[in-house]
Structure 1
Amino acid sequence: MPEKPCKDCPPGSKRPAPNPGPRCATHHREEKKRRKAAAHETRAQKTYGLGPGDYDRLYALQGGRCPICLRATGKTRRLSIDHDHATGDVRGLLCRPCNTLLGHARDELEFFKRAYRYLKFPPARRLDDP
């Protein structure tokens, strides 16, 4: 039984369409990417109260980077939506490690003060003190 033509290719195209739709491999990849983006947009709106396109605008506002480490761009793994657990207010987009760090800190400023003191004055330096 001959395969059906890809529903997104131009009429008369001879490309095989073995994927659901039916779609050729190229159009199947594009459709999966579109659906994934739509699902993320819906989740961002329902879970965090962002408006349509707010994630992308926030991403651009941050310069396309995690504002804490300045390394992660979200190209490989989308940046996480960081929010205040007490109020539910969205603060920004963070990479997974930075978001986890804030989660362990429980949004307490004292945690970061202690971390700063630890890095500035490591206890191991005092081993050499008489």
Structure 2
Amino acid sequence: MRDGLQAYCRECSAAYYRQRQDARGRKPRPRVEAPEGHKYCQRCGTIKPHSQWDRNRTASDGLSTRCKACRAIQARQDHLKRHYGLTEAEREEMVASQVGLCVICLKAPAVHVDHCHKTGRVRGVLCFNCNSAIGKLGDDPDAVRRAAAYLEGNAWKPTLVAPGVYQLPS
């Protein structure tokens, strides 16, 4: 309008908007009133205090659209999909097929997705220690075999056969 004001009040304008959306077959978000210092999370459907929300300067209220817990869940799902091409259900299925344990040490719970760094193929779900050990050995099966031989007491010490000629253990 010329005076810079709307023709209708906020409540009437909101009611008219909802009526038009219903006529088009769309379902507008319901308006949920929250007490002062709290906000409603649309994903989990709960009202939480502002301390459980991340800041977002571009939003009208200065807070994120989802609470911290819901953002963490979504970030985990996005990470699995982006890096490994897995959904949370597929990862849980892999863990269940391993009876919930790391397939290498058979002691710790399996929580870290292991993959080949050359091909990107997912191999399984391991505990943190086993997954980092494989990574530190450079995904090299020969290095793992040498480490196993070392642990079994077959140290990698060449024996002198003749002057300048050494025999490596097999």
Q: TM-score range by the shorter chain?
A: 0.5 to 0.7
1:4 Cα deviation (Å)?
5.2
Question: Greater CA radius of gyration, 1 or 2?
Answer: 2
2:149, 2:92 → 1: CA distance? 36
SS of the residue 2:92 aligns to: helix
Amino acid at match of 2:82: K
Alignment correspondent of 2:43: none
Percent identity over the alignment is: 33
1:104, 1:4 → 2: CA distance? 48
How many pairs are equivalent? Answer: 103
Work out whether residues 101 and 107 of structure 2, in 8 Å CA contact, stay in contact via their aligned partners in 1. Answer: yes
Which of residues 87, 97, 101 in structure 1 aligns to 2:119?
Answer: 87
Amino acid at match of 1:95: C
Higher strand share: 2
Residues 1:62 and 2:98 aligned together: yes
Higher helix share: 1
Q: For 1:50-84, what per-residue CA distance to the aligned partner results, in whole angstroms no more than 9, with x for missing partners?
A: 1452122212222112111122225xxxx221111
Residues 1:118 and 2:150 aligned together: yes
Q: For 1:19-50, what per-residue CA distance to the aligned partner results, in whole angstroms no more than 9, with x for missing partners?
A: 356xxxxxxxxx54443222111111011111
SS of the residue 2:107 aligns to: coil
1:98, 1:90 → 2: CA distance? 15
Residues 1:39 and 2:63 aligned together: no
Residues 1:107 and 2:145 aligned together: no
Amino acid at match of 1:47: H
SS of the residue 2:93 aligns to: helix
Residues 1:3 and 2:50 aligned together: no
Amino acid at match of 1:3: E
Normalization by structure 1: what TM-score? Answer: 0.63
Normalization by structure 2: what TM-score? Answer: 0.50
Work out whether residues 80 and 95 of structure 1, in 8 Å CA contact, stay in contact via their aligned partners in 2. Answer: yes
Work out whether residues 3 and 18 of structure 1, in 8 Å CA contact, stay in contact via their aligned partners in 2. Answer: no
What's the Cα RMSD here? 2.7
Gaps of 5+ in 2: 1-34, 41-45, 54-66, 156-170
1:51, 1:3 → 2: CA distance? 37
Shift in CA distance, 122/61, structure 1 to aligned 2, threshold 3 Å = same
